[in-house]
Amino acid sequence: MADREYFRVPMRTGQPHVSGAFRGRGFGRDPLVAVSAPLLDQGRPVGVIEASIRVDAFTRLRSDALRKRGYEMLIVDRDNRVVHAGSGLPFDFAQDLSGAPFLAAGRTAATVRHVPDALRDGRDAFAARADMQTGWKLVLFAPEDSISTPLYARLGTMLAMLVLAAAGGALAVRWEMRHFARSLRRVLGPLEALARDGQQGPAPPVHMPEELRPLARAIDGLGHRLRSARRDNAELDRLNRTDALTGTLNRRGLDAALDSLCAGTQSLPLAALLFDIDHFKAYNDRYGHVAGDATLRRVAAAIGGSLRNADDAFGRLGGEEFLALLPAVDAQAALEVAERARGAVEGLAIPHGDSPTGYVTVSAGVHMATSFATPDLIQAADAALYRAKRAGRNRVAF
């Protein structure tokens, strides 16, 4: 495609383009004309959208109507290659007519000249030319022997027909370009929505050039795949932030929650509640790791159920340590939550033969942050937890 004129010109100029005549590369090898427009990124062409139009789509009806009036129509592109030639003319599609006298440079469009052997059957004809805005030229041929009316009247009629045919051809090309541009905007709308916010816009309508429909279907499919990928990525992100054993946040998830809470002052004062299961190594040694894992899950559920609401973040730091982050809370309320969680774990009454109480218990350290200048919130909560452990465990320290 990069070798085609309809690709190179819009990429070079950044402007829409109507190509010269060419044949398709598919099975049909149809005579085609391309209408193309650049895809711009901040004013710079980054690609091209193209629609190929069958030549007979905009020439056949006009050519047939002119033939019934005794004229033959010829259209050549800006390189003087045949785009369309009436059946009575001896020219083939894409034939180079650069040397033809009726296309001579400098000759005005209103000039009518005699052309020997102009028709396929060898008859002479009069030819008149009109130049189009696209750079194409339209030439009408009138057989010499068919002019039975006075010559000047006949030539005047011929010039009038030429103007009408040229205007019709220009309108046809312009209509195709406008239709193509509208369809292109409809196709690019969903694509721009995907690029802007990942949301797919309305599905493109089916009333568009056949050449754009595969692109529309591809964009629609891309939207579905992107939404699926977005869901998969969200699930992977959730799993990456979740502790597989307890279903709570893991260290990565807690760090992300802390970063989010620190993003605005509305989270202040912020409380960090650090919990540790008392004598948990001894519990694992006595009851085994399967029982230890089950206890971790039950303790996590008890602490998580003691928090205030969904704004509180909770997760497993690692081993037998759990962290709760309570935004916009005072010290008294934070201590009440910590004590409620401690009591909930004790209330599970999980037997522990190596604990002074005979059951699984937790100790908790509470630290209040009134600004985010605290070097390490978790380290400060850990210091409070150490004080609770040193004071005899199964208690809350501030």
pTM above 0.75, yes or no: no
Domain shared by 204 and 289, yes or no: no
CB atoms within 10 A of CB 152: 8
Over 90: is that where the pLDDT of 176 sits? no
Domain shared by 222 and 288, yes or no: no
Assign 270 a pLDDT band (cuts: 50, 70, 90): very high
Domain shared by 156 and 302, yes or no: no
Domain final position from 206, 240, 274: 240
Q: Does residue 370 lie in a domain region?
A: yes
Over 60: is that where the pLDDT of 126 sits? yes
DSSP helix/strand/coil, 338: helix
Domain shared by 77 and 192, yes or no: yes
Domain shared by 121 and 226, yes or no: yes
Over 50: is that where the pLDDT of 195 sits? no
pLDDT of 364: 98
Domain final position from 190, 216, 240: 240
Domain final position from 210, 240, 270: 240
Assign 31 a pLDDT band (cuts: 50, 70, 90): confident
Domain shared by 212 and 260, yes or no: no
The mean predicted confidence, pLDDT, of the chain is: 80
CB atoms within 10 A of CB 246: 21
Q: What is the pLDDT of residues 42-61, one digit of tens each?
A: 778 878 877 778 888 778 88
Q: Does residue 246 lie in a domain region?
A: no
Range with lowest mean pLDDT among 15-29, 129-143, 218-232: 218-232
The top-scoring range by mean pLDDT among 27-36, 57-66, 257-266, 287-296 is 287-296
Domain shared by 177 and 326, yes or no: no
From residue 368, how far is each of 140, 270, 371, 377 by CA, in Å? 92, 6, 9, 8
From residue 338, how far is each of 35, 80, 128, 271 by CA, in Å? 71, 88, 97, 10
Residue 380 belongs to what domain range?
251-397
Over 90: is that where the pLDDT of 279 sits? yes
Please state, in angstroms and rounded to a whole number, the distance separating the CA atoms of residues 360 and 300: 13
Q: What domain count does the chain have?
A: 2
Domain shared by 215 and 263, yes or no: no
Over 80: is that where the pLDDT of 194 sits? no
From residue 197, how far is each of 66, 200, 232 by CA, in Å? 53, 9, 17
